[in-house]
Every structure is written in structure tokens, then in C-alpha cells.
């Protein structure tokens, strides 16, 4: 009989273990402006990985391009986050991440008004010009004052912990789930985080961000790295094949596709390295 106690997840214990603090911190004060609705304040920072991440490619010969950075956007009012993997920390790639997030926000009828970030690439002339061109405002935290950028820093830490736990769980079950797939795992962790309601609120961050009382569907989520089976191409096209031939091939689940319906998943072909919807 279940007594209400939720058992611990072994993968989370392996992936999220930390040293206990020797002292507790006091209550942090308010830094910067207060967000009253989605888009008022968005914190942005970058996660850097020394492990090259696979760039999704569905056809052709595999490219040598790899992801090494992910720009993380965190909305203060709703708690929603958005992940955009990129190849470098250059201003060009960072501006592409900014445009991708704003396209996502505009699809939800949300206008981004203010960004809060650290210095680095966000203080470059190109990024400042893009913010000014969009009639947005921008604030920076102090040099090496990471406590003034706590929203983005904590969100990166949480997403990294969840991604690491996904890899621990996947590697014990699927040899094709390698560390080079971290961009897909990181994006899946973000999608799950904004879809599931928080303990402090009955609504999910996506519901708060869109201001729509429609609960996002969670039945399409699967454990990262689990086996997925693709029906052979002739059978997909309604054709026939030899009676005793295998009717499908196995792949590695990489999360939901961002360019298709929410029921469409991405799978890695273990022999070719191609990513197919």
C-alpha cells in the first residue's frame, strides 16, 4: 500500500549531488525592476560546454560543425525558459538566439521589453544595436557580481542538473546516448520544465507565459535516450517488402521536434548519426 512517500530517483541522485553548504544565506533583496507580466524582464546567460554537441542533420554526410554554447532565456514573470544551442559565443550566433526567442514569444503574443544579463558578449556593439533597434531596454549586473544575475544563473544550474541526470539514466540503458547529444537533452529538459506546473503554482510556466488556460500535453514526452522504432521507408509509403524482413529500425530518442507538431519526436540513427523526425 502506497503511504504517500515518493521514492528517490537513482539517476537524479547521481546527477544532482552537491556539497552541503556550511552556512545558510539570508533573504536576498530585490535587484533590478519588477516584472508584472511576461516579457517585462527576461534574464539571459550562456552555458558553455567543452564537449562538442551534435548539430541536427537529417540528410547528407555529417558536417564538422558542432554546438559548444547554449543561450538560456528566463522570463521573470512566468518562470518560462528557452534554450537555443549555438556554435560559438560570437555576437552573430547570440543575435540568432535572441531572434529565435523573440519569434517564440511573438507566437504566444508576448512582446519582450527588457533584458537583464551580464557583460561579456551582451555588451558588444552588435547586441546593443539590436536591442536599441527593437525598442527594448537592457541592464547589466556588476562585474563578477553573479548574485545580481541569480535568475539566469540558477536556471542554468537547474537545467544542467536535469540534463546530467537524463544522461545518467540513458547511459545505463542505451550505449548510443553519448555526451555529444547534450544540446538535445538540454532542450528537452527546458521543454519539460516549462510544461509541468510548479509546486508553488497550479499552472505551468507555459500557461502563465501565454495567458491561456489550456494545459500543455505531456503524453508525448519520453525518457531521453530510450529506444525509438522507425517504420521502414517502403512501409511508410504504403508499399510492400519481403515477408520475413525486419519492418523497423531502432534509434535513440532525442526529444520533441521544434519544427513539427508536438506529437513528432526526433530520433538518432546510431549508424549514420542523422537525426530524423
Owner of C-alpha cell 503524453: 219
What confidence score (pLDDT) does residue 2 get?
55
What confidence score (pLDDT) does residue 41 get?
92
Average pLDDT for consecutive 10-residue bins of the chain (277 residues)? 69 78 59 77 93 88 89 92 93 94 92 90 92 92 75 91 91 86 93 84 86 80 88 84 86 85 84 85
What confidence score (pLDDT) does residue 97 get?
94
Three-state DSSP state, 5: coil
- Strand ranges (DSSP E) for the chain? 42-54, 66-75, 81-86, 114-117, 137-140, 227-231, 248-256, 265-268, 275-276
Nearest to 153 by CA among 28, 20, 67: 28
What confidence score (pLDDT) does residue 31 get?
53
What confidence score (pLDDT) does residue 51 get?
92
Q: Give the DSSP letter string of 247-272.
A: SEEEEEEEEE-SSS-TT-EEEE-TTT
What confidence score (pLDDT) does residue 80 get?
92
What confidence score (pLDDT) does residue 272 get?
84
Amino acid at each position: 500500500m502506497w503511504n504517500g512517500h515518493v521514492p528517490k530517483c537513482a539517476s537524479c541522485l547521481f546527477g544532482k549531488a552537491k556539497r552541503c553548504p556550511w552556512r545558510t544565506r539570508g533573504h536576498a533583496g530585490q535587484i533590478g525592476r519588477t516584472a508584472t507580466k511576461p516579457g517585462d524582464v527576461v534574464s539571459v546567460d550562456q552555458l558553455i560546454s567543452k564537449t562538442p554537441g551534435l548539430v541536427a542533420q537529417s540528410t547528407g554526410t555529417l558536417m564538422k560543425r558542432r554546438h559548444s554554447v547554449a543561450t538560456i532565456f528566463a522570463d521573470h514573470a512566468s518562470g518560462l525558459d528557452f534554450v537555443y544551442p549555438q556554435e560559438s559565443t560570437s555576437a552573430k550566433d547570440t543575435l540568432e538566439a535572441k531572434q529565435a526567442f523573440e519569434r517564440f514569444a511573438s507566437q504566444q503574443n508576448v512582446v519582450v521589453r527588457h533584458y537583464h544579463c551580464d557583460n561579456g558578449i551582451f555588451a558588444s556593439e552588435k547586441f546593443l544595436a539590436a536591442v536599441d533597434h527593437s525598442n527594448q531596454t537592457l541592464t547589466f549586473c556588476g562585474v563578477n557580481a553573479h548574485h545580481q544575475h541569480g535568475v539566469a544563473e540558477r536556471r542554468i544550474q537547474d537545467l544542467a542538473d536535469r540534463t546530467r541526470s537524463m544522461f545518467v539514466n540513458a547511459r545505463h540503458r542505451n550505449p548510443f546516448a553519448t555526451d555529444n547529444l547534450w544540446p538535445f537533452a538540454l532542450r528537452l529538459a527546458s521543454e519539460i520544465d516549462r510544461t509541468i506546473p510548479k509546486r508553488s503554482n497550479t499552472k505551468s510556466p507555459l500557461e502563465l507565459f501565454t495567458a491561456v488556460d489550456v494545459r500543455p500535453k505531456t503524453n508525448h514526452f519520453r525518457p531521453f535516450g530510450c529506444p525509438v522504432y522507425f517504420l521502414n521507408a517502403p512501409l511508410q509509403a504504403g508499399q510492400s517488402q519481403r515477408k520475413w524482413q525486419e519492418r523497423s529500425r531502432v534509434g535513440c530518442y532525442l526529444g520533441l521536434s521544434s519544427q513539427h507538431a508536438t506529437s513528432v519526436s526526433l530520433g538518432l540513427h546510431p549508424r549514420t548519426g542523422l537525426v530524423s523526425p
